[in-house]
Each structure stands twice: as structure tokens, then as C-alpha cells.
Amino acid sequence: MIQKKRRLLQWSLIVGIGVLLGAFVPPMTHNLSARSEKAYRELKIFSDVIDLIEKNYVDPVESKDLIEKAIQGMVHSLDPHSAFLPPDAFKELQVDTRGEFGGLGIVITLHKGILTVISPIEGTPAHRAGIKAGDQIIKINDVSTKGMALWEAVKKLRGPKGTSVRITIHREGEPKPREYSIVRDIIPIESVKHKVLTPGYGYVRITNFNENTTRDLNAALETLESDSGGLKGLVLDLRDNPGGLLNQAIRVADVFLEKGVIVSIKGRVKRHNKVYKAHRNKKVTPYPIVVLINGGSASASEIVAGALQDQKRAVIMGTTSFGKGSVQTVEALRDGYGLKYTIARYYTPSGRSIQAQGIVPDIEVRPGVVPEKKKEPPESGLLREKDLENHLEAVPAEPRENRESRDPDKKRLQESRSRFGPLDAGVLKRDYQIRRALEILISFEIFKNIRG
């Protein structure tokens, strides 16, 4: 009986691994009988170990859990970006690239170990209910969030449109918690935001690359051009953009390029080798561009930055990017599982590999905040209005609670709110890297008009 059970387990393992391999090998190689005796021996050792653990381990264990963890370990040992995805994780990955999900419409984080609202998304159920930035979510459906992982909280808050969820909020300055019952709706994932920095100069931030990114970018550029009466320059912010869909990165780069290679992909399997080229656009974008990157700019955002840099279409500014120059694909497996694995490396138009190297900016600029102007000494002993004590400012003073915080944790939370909440031109221009980018664009316009 034991031998029969062991043979059955061996067969199930062989079939399971055959399904896994079927994600990236031709159908004719699915039959493991064509493989070497070595593979059989290794599979037998694998099944023997599981059989022994299942029968003799000090605590009861399920063979399903052992097999799942073994596959996870196998795939993760390949590289940091390959993963065997359980059904819940596979669903979340699909949601992140789809461009929308059912939920409340809040961006959350763990701030000092407490589930905290970074920003409610305007027009969503959470926004209409009165959820505010800084609110602490202490319960979800009467379940305490203390010690709850961020992904677990996101899973509890998301759900089908029309269903409701109860959240208990602690708000600073209020003695008692508030309870909200909010009906979920379809929430768009906003990957593109834009703002006019100063007349003629626009700012576009791309936070990730999902299904709607190129469409939203084109809409943002049209709005900026109409609001500015025509763009003289653009700041394209890819800082802390972790990547996303490869096809969207290619299309975004294509918006600004008229010809030439955008990116080339080279893998071990011939069918994975591809070269993507730019197409002539119906609408030309002739204005100069400064692209901002940092160590959080990875993968798809590096493709865009590398293409615009090599094609001499933009000045790259900031700090060296993350250096994720590999391409992953995701295959659906049975029972809701998924497999994400690396199939190729990508190269910029000049043939540079970004893997573990990153995009090096043309102009290195460290992050910071533009300091307030110091009080200048009176010129030639003459007093001016600004030198008089208690003089009125040109605009009303900013409220104390809105001034820059000296608390580093609170400052990081405010930066997150700036990233996910509505953009403010004044706040953007206090960002040192954005300010430098704007100065370069304005200088270019000035020099262009100088006749020499």
C-alpha cells in the first residue's frame, strides 16, 4: 500500500512539473519520458523526501503545502524577479496592471506600524464618505489591523463593485474613532498626473505602466498644450516608478520619438528576441524634455529613459536608476496559480544592457528642497519695503500646519501624499530636482532666442 501511494505521488509530481514546464517549452517536449534518467532520479529523491516528511515530521504537514513551497523555492532561486504565484498573489498582479479594480479609492501605507491613509482618490467612495489623508484605519469589518500586513489589508479593502466594507478610523484631534460603511466601486489606477509648472512649461508624472498609461499620457499632453498655449518644455518625472507593462513603456517612448530603435530584447529562446522601433507620429512633440529618474526608477521606466537618452531626445537628470534590465512574462497555470519568470534582457538603442548597471543621468542632481531665500542686506545702505520689520508679504503667509515638517517620518508621508494626491505647482517647484529641470528648460528657450 505504501509503495502504491509512493508511486502515485511520484506520478502526480511528474504531471505537475510537466504542466509547469509547459509554460515555456514547445508541446512536443512535455513528455518527460524523453528526458534523461538523471531527471527521473532527481524527481524520485524529491518524492521520497516529501513522503518521509509527510509521514515522520514532528507536526502534521500537507503534501500540497510542501510541494507549493518547494516550487516557490525552485523558481525564486533563479533570480529575484521570478516567482511562483499562489492564486491570491496572481490576482493582485493582474489587478495592478489592469488599470482598475473594485475598492474604496484610498492609497494606504504602514506609517510607524499603523495602517494610514496617504490620500483618498478624488471622486471615489472613500473621498465622498469623507476619508482624509492621515486617517488611521484601526479596524476593517471589526477586525483589528494591528500587526496586519499591507497586502492583507489591501485584499480586505478591495472587492466587487456594489459590496460594502466597514472601516474604523482614528483621526488626529478627535477623541473617539469614527466608523464608516462604504460601498465599493470601480477605482481607476491613475498612472499619469500632470500640472502646468509655469506658463509654457508642463510637468507629467508617470507612477507606473498599466494598460491605460499611453492613453492617459496623450490626454495629459493635450491638456498641458491647451492650458499653456503651447508647450515650450516638459518635465517627465519617472522617479520611484517601478515599471509595469513592457508594451506601454514602448508606446510612451514612441510618443516622443519619430524614428529609430526604442529597445531590443535578447533571450535564450529565439522567439523572445525582438527589436522595437519608433513610428512617425501624427502629432509631433518638438519641445525639449527633461526626464527625472532615481534609484526607484526600474524596468519599464528605464526603457523609456534609456531610449530618450540614446536617441538624444531628452536630458536625463537625477540619480542612477535601479538597474532592472530583465524582462518577465507571466503564465497562467491550473487552479488559479501563475508563474512569473525571466525570459530575456533588454538593451537600449545604443546596445547598452541596463541589468545591474542602471541608467546614468546626463546631469546628476541629488534630491532636496529649494531653500527659502535669505534676507539680503540693504543695497548701498538704502532700505526697501522687504527690509522693514513685520512687512507684509506679497501673498498671505502659509498656515503653520502646512509648512514643511521637521519630522522625517511625517515628511516621507507628506511626500507620499504629494505623489498620490492632487498635484500642486508650488509644492512641485520646491522640489529641488524639478526646479533644476525647469531652469534647464527655461535656459534652453533663452539661448535658442539669442542671436549671435
Here the cell at position 27 is 508541446
Backbone phi, psi, residue 215, to 5°: -60, -45
Question: Do 68 and 334 contact (CB within 8 A), yes or no?
Answer: no
Is residue 63 among the annotated active site residues? no
| Cα-based distances in Å from 338 to 8, 45, 77, 448 | 25, 25, 17, 53
Catalytic residue among 119, 191, 297, 299: 299
Is residue 185 among the annotated active site residues? no
Q: 311-336: buried (b, 16+ CB within 10 Å) or exposed (e) per residue?
A: bebbbbbbbbbbbbbbbbeeeebeee
Q: 208-238: buried (b, 16+ CB within 10 Å) or exposed (e) per residue?
A: bbbbbbbebbbebbeebbeebeebbbbbbbb
Is residue 228 among the annotated active site residues? no
Catalytic residue among 216, 237, 254, 310: 310
Question: Do 194 and 224 contact (CB within 8 A), yes or no?
Answer: yes
Burial of 65 (0-12, 13-18, 19+ CB in 10 A): exposed
Here the cell at position 429 is 517647484
135: left (phi over 0), alpha (psi -120 to 50) or beta: beta
Catalytic residue among 324, 326, 416, 431: 324
Question: How many Å from the N-terminal Cα to the C-terminal Cα in the chain?
Answer: 95
Task: With CA atoms as reference, report the closest residue to 420 among 106, 184, 103, 96.
Answer: 106
Q: Please identify every residue annotated as catalytic.
A: 299, 310, 324
